Amino acid sequence: MSCMKRKITYIPLLLALLLTAGCGNIVLMDDDGLQALRKAKISSKIISIEGKVTDEEGTPLEGISVIVIGRFLRDSQTYYGQNYQELDTLSTDVNGSYRMMERMVSPAFTDLQLNAFDSNGRYKDASIFVRDIQAGAVAPTITLLKK
């Protein structure tokens, strides 16, 4: 009975060895990577953004979709598996303005990417980046060019 007990105890270990042997080198995350991962899981912050979309002549564009994406753009702030996340999709009003109200985001993204596109197909898509995002941030005007 004790001999049988030992065989059962080693089965999980043998399975782990077989699985890792077929995968080649095992890569373990370094200390900086582990700290970044822990920080990303527990950190959050409040952000908001507003801005405007115009055509190349400066005329405000109504009904343009603006996708707000939280990002970590600097290498030193890369969080494994969470470098970006879509946060919201907004639409411009008659004045070409859009606004994402204050919200808590986690992880605490440092930057935003704003992708603007015209679902009617009259204008080319455009993107801008806003660095060091905080609550009350105002984005530069996004200019869409006619197709």
CA 9 to chain centre: 43
> How much is the average pLDDT of 70-83?
64
Radius of gyration of the chain (CA): 24
> How much is the average pLDDT of 2-25?
56
Note the pLDDT tens digit of each residue in 86-121.
999 999 999 999 999 999 998 888 899 999 999 999
Q: Tell me what pLDDT residue 78 has.
A: 52
Q: Tell me what pLDDT residue 91 has.
A: 98
According to DSSP, the β-strands at 65-71 and 111-117 are antiparallel
| Reported confidence tier of residue 18, pLDDT bands at 50, 70, 90 | low
Q: Tell me what pLDDT residue 109 has.
A: 86
| Reported confidence tier of residue 83, pLDDT bands at 50, 70, 90 | confident
CA 18, CA 21: separation in Å to the nearest integer?
5
> How much is the average pLDDT of 65-83?
73
CB atoms inside a 10 Å sphere around CB 29: 11
Instruction: Look at residue 8 and tell me whether its pLDDT is greater than 60.
Output: no
CA 83 to chain centre: 5
Q: pTM value?
A: 0.68
